[in-house]
Structures are given as C-alpha cells and as structure tokens.
Amino acid sequence: MEQYSISFDEFIGILFNHKKVEISHKTEKIIIDSYNFLKDFSKNKVIYGVNTGFGPMAQYRIEEKDQLALQYNIIHSHSSGMGTYFSPEIVRSAILCRLNTLSLGKSGVHISLIHLMKELINRDITPLIFQHGSVGASGDLVQLAHLALVLIGEGEVFYKGKRRSTKEVFKEEGLKPLQIHLREGIALMNGTSVMTGIAVINVHYASLLLEWSIKLSIAINELVQTYDDHFSKELNAAKKHHGQQVIALKMRNYLSDSLLTRKRSEHLYTGEHKESVFKDKVQEYYSLRCLPQILGAIYDTICSAKEVVTNEFNSASDNPIVDLETQQVYHGGNFHGDYISLEMDKLKLAITRLSMLSERQLNYLLNPKINEILPAFVNAGKLGFNFGMQGIQFTATSTTAENQTLSNSMYVHSIPNNNDNQDIVSMGTNAATITHKVIENTFEVLAIEAITIAQAIDILGNKEKFSTTTQKWYQEIRKIIPFFSEDITPYPFLEKVKTFLKSNS
C-alpha cells in the first residue's frame, strides 16, 4: 500500500478477497520522518493533543511527565460505545481506513502503530466496536477509542468466531500491545474512519443492488413481452444524464438475445389499427418503462458516493496535521464528517427508491388485474386453497415502508455538545449506519422479487425464450429454491437467496 492513495477496487480486494496488507519502505520512511519531526517540533510549542488537553479543555497545558498518560486517558474515557456491535467486515474496513490515513505521514504517529494495525487486518482480529457513540464531528471518537483500546492490549475482540479478551488473543498471536510514544491515542481517535469504513461497504453493496435491480427489471420486461423502445439509444440519448444512458445500454446488452421483447415498429406501427380499444398495451407501467430514468439517477448517486468515499479514505482526517514540506503543524477540522454524512444520506435515499421500485414491480407480478398473464399472487397451486407469494408480499411491503421511514436525513440533525465546542456536527456515522440498514433491507426485498420472477417464469413455461442473462440467474435461484405449487415455509429460502444476491453480481 503506497503512501498517497489506493483505489476503491484495491480497498474492496483487501476487505472481501482477504488480500494481505503490506507497508512499503517508502511509506515507512514518511511515517518515521513525520513522527521525528513532530516530536522535535512540539518541544517548545503549543500543539493540540501533545501538550494540551482535548476539546474544550485544550486551554490547559499538560506537563511533559503527564503527556503519555494523557493519551491513555483519552482512550479509556471515550471507550463508551453502546448498542449493537459492528460486523467484522465493517470493523475491518474501518481499520483499513484508519491505517491508510495514518500512513500518509500527516499525523506524526510512531511506526509501531502502523504495523500493529496491519497485523489486526492480516490476522483477522476484529475489535469490538459498538454502533452508538459518534456524532461525527471530531471524527468517530467513541468508536475509534474502542479500536485504540484493543491496540493497547485491552478491551475485547472477535477472533476465530468467538468474542474474547484482547489480552488473551494477543498472547496467542505473539503480538505486543501498542506503547504510546507521542500522540497515538488522539491520532487514532480523531478521524472519520469508522463512518468511512461503513460507507465503503455501503457503496460496494449498493452497486450490487443496482446490478440486480437491472437484471430483475429486464426479466419482468421479458415476462410481459414489453416493447424495446423505452430502453433504446435514441430515446435515452435525448436526455443528457450519464446514468440514464448507462442503464439503457446495460438493458440493451442484457436483452440482446431475448426472444420475448418486441419492436414497436413491427406491431403498433404496421397495419391500420382502427379498433377503438387497443388489444395490445400501448405503454407499460412506469415501474417497467421508466427504468433508465429511475435507475440512472441511482447509478449517478452511487458513482458520486464512490468518489467521495475514495477521497475520504485517502485523506488525512485527524487534527492537527503535520506537513513535512513546510515543516509546520496546522490545526483545523479535517475530522469533520460532512462529506460522508451528506453522501450517505443521498445514497440512503437512492437505495430506498430502489426498494420502492422493486416492491412496485413485485406488486405488478402479484396482481392479475394489472399484469393480465399470471394467476393471483403468482400462485401455481389451487386458487383459494394455496397462497403462492401472498404471505411473502407482506414482508416486502413492510420492509420497504421501514426504508422509507429510515430515509429521513441525519445530516441535518446536528445537536451541539462537548460544552458547545462541537456546536455543529455531521452525524456521519449514524448516517452511514442507517444507510447500511436500508441496504440490508433492500437485499431482502429483491430476494423476494427474484423468487417471484422465477415462479412466474416457470408458470408461463417459456424459459428458453428468455435472455441468457435472465436464464443464468434463474438457474442459480432454482438451485436454492425449487419451483413450488404446494405452500412452503419460505423463510429459510429467503435468507439463502439474500446471501446469494449479496455475494454475486
């Protein structure tokens, strides 16, 4: 991992493909030079977090004999998280974010900290970090304190599937706890790394959701043998939004070998059509016809979030900042989480919208009055005696409704605290955490839709006419849940399909 930046895909490779983290000699040198500079520079100057207290208590000088103990004090006092703890993949992402930002040589930390953080990632040692605690202004102080607590050999970790004391696991792995050298406590805690770590995971899964939404949407278009002009190049090029044109192109590519979509010119543009009520539907419902416009906006939102998140994990987000080039230390607010908070609110809205689209498409399939080709609730059994997808629809509808409520903004819910020192805060970690919940919910809605489409394909009995794209995922779904006409207990299958969607694009 080089000094200046890693790409989003490289970051994801470490998280999900378990590629090992390495620290280059160039990066090591910059970190060491930064530490040595700050150590000398701070001897006769007032430097926040080295020889001062923290927050509104920065007006108090800390004597040299107490400066290292001060770092331990901030770690211990702020290890105050509560609630549900973050998943291993989120914590791993947060550690990688913190490791990358501290490796930029802007923080003045000792090299031993970098190597120990690297070992946590490479050995799958996951600190216990709680969801509740951050207001996202001086960064993720509380959650990062729990990371720092583990690094100094205290607190708890998850290791080989068990929750255990850090001290025991470090002893087994032959790891020595971090010894504070200068300002490693506040350097670890001041920053946006937890909210950014969650945001990385969110963007990754949001991209998967979008891809699945496109694939499920085209399958429904095939089911009803829709006309192809709503995803045509000509129509979508008439609107100057990049995402819309990307989605339309994907639809054309995925449907290129479908035998079910129809050309309008061959049906409604030929003959005289003098009937007063047209037999063929002239235009489909919006949830089928407006896909490039709806999913295009979501695509652009995900792209924006990806750029912001990549910039953030490649940035120095603590305070103060060491600059070796000018040989100065600069105080400011790089720990403020506004970029992540705003972007996660936007992403949350977009994914909620995606779940709403899925729920409406599901309703279209289940209601014979509007699709006019399938039995009620895509019921392959005896109507009135069997229920098909009737019970499952309730889950999709209620989950979508929860998304709609969760989509209220966190970004505009600043509450002053810290003796009004933090008088405007980002709530970025809350924003990212709630967005993560919305994404998990949406995978559940899409799992229900995927099963329903698979049932519909079997009921119509023409799966050989569907596109290769649709046939491929249909076959994978059928390995998980076979076609059913008798009523089944669906919840085990729903969870398995959700897992499949999260792990496959």
Six token digits for residue 396: 């999709």
Q: What is the pLDDT of residue 278?
A: 65
Q: What is the pLDDT of residue 423?
A: 59
Q: What is the pLDDT of residue 2?
A: 41
Q: Which of 35, 48, 227, 364 is catalytic?
A: 48
Q: What is the pLDDT of residues 376-387, one digit of tens each?
A: 999 988 888 988
Position 343: which residue type?
A: E
Q: Rounded mean pLDDT of 317-329?
A: 92
Six token digits for residue 115: 């190597």
- Tell me how far apart the alpha carbons of residues 381 and 398 are, in angstroms, rounded to a whole number: 25
Q: Rounded mean pLDDT of 326-346?
A: 90
Asked if pLDDT for residue 1 goes beyond 50, the answer is no
> 241 falls in which pLDDT band (50, 70, 90)?
very high
Q: What is the pLDDT of residue 139?
A: 78
Q: What is the pLDDT of residues 116-130, one digit of tens each?
A: 999 999 999 999 999
Asked if pLDDT for residue 282 goes beyond 80, the answer is no
Q: What is the pLDDT of residue 18?
A: 84
299 catalytic per annotation:
no
Instruction: Indicate the DSSP class of residue 277.
Output: S
Is the overall model pTM greater than 0.85, yes or no? yes
Q: What is the pLDDT of residues 200-214, one digit of tens each?
A: 999 999 999 999 999
Out of 195-209, 256-270, 382-396, pick the least confident.
Answer: 256-270
Asked if pLDDT for residue 48 goes beyond 90, the answer is no
Q: What is the pLDDT of residue 37?
A: 95
- Tell me how far apart the alpha carbons of residues 235 and 247 are, in angstroms, rounded to a whole number: 13
Out of 132-146, 417-431, 459-473, pick the least confident.
Answer: 417-431
Position 323: which residue type?
A: D
